[in-house]
Amino acid sequence: MAEEKEGKYRILLIEDDPAISNVVELNLKLDNYDVFLAADGEEGLKMVGETEPDLIILDVMMPKMDGWQVLMQLKSDDKTSDIPVIMLTAIDDEQSKVIGLRGGADDYVPKPFSPLELAARVKVILDRVGRAHRMNAEAAKGPVRLEQIPVQKGDTIKLIPMEDIFFIDTKHEYANLHTASDSYLTTYSLSELEKVLDRKTFFRTHRSFIVNLKKVNQIIKLSRNSLIVTLRDDKESRVPVSRRQASALRDMLGL
């Protein structure tokens, strides 16, 4: 995927409604992005190679080739599979969202939408992509550690200190961070967080969970091959432990 060009990100908008294209283009240009427009799926795929976009905003209902077909082609090609995609569509149902996200889309915005909200979602994704590139570059130099994690709760964005984290879990692409009394959405994936967390303190007990070892209350054996850890948060949360991680967890906790 292309890096920033001359200090700007490139965004390709594939949308057959000129009125929507014009409004989105204007708002994105106000945020200093280079914006390229395509009126249907076939033209959009052609322009991907010509413009090398850093992000694609993709409408679903289009002539010639719909957005699902375009998404499948993008994600099946090694040259374009890493380009983040925001699906833009009038279809607002849970099944369509699941199809889009499982197909490799990074976000899903139903019409009608606020151009300002779309621009905010674009920024979040591009920040995440840029951060991932920086993290990979830093990983080659040595371990990187975070002291605070940016999170979102509704319209509020804040920084959570590492010592306030009890556990982290994930259901889709992004991780949820849990403190003693609340939970927050991050723009990191669980795998990204695992690379930058202090491994002496944070332990991945399960493919979907990371636990702060300092917040563990006890390990409970549910059956011969089934363990959980309980935490000292307000809810006394329970986090599963995979069979392969159980021995390493006991060693780290000195049990």
Q: Residue 223 burial by CB count (10 A; 0-12/13-18/19+): exposed, middle or buried?
A: exposed
Per DSSP, what are the bridge partners of residue 160? 149
Answer yes or no: pTM beyond 0.95: no
pLDDT given at position 29: 92
* Band of residue 122 on the pLDDT scale cut at 50, 70, 90: very high
Q: What is the mean pLDDT of residues 29-53?
A: 93
Top pLDDT among 138 and 15 is at 15
- Higher pLDDT: 57 or 134? It is 57
pLDDT tens per residue, range 190-206: 888 888 888 889 999 99
CATH 2.40.50.1020 residue ranges for the chain: 158-253
Q: From 3.40.50.880, 2.40.50.1020, 3.90.1150.110, 3.90.1300.10, which CATH number describes the 158-253 domain?
A: 2.40.50.1020
Q: At 252, is the pLDDT very low, low, confident or very high (cuts 50, 70, 90)? A: confident
Phi, psi of 69 (to 5 degrees): -65, -40
What pairs with residue 178 in β-bridges? 167, 183
Share the mean pLDDT of the chain. Answer: 83
Tens of pLDDT, residue by residue over 209-249, are 999 999 999 888 887 667 899 999 999 999 999 888 888 88
3-class secondary structure, 136? helix
Contacts for 94 with CB less than 8 Å, ≥ 6 apart? none
Domain boundaries for CATH 3.40.50.2300 within the chain: 10-138
CATH fold label, 10-138 = Rossmann fold (3.40.50)
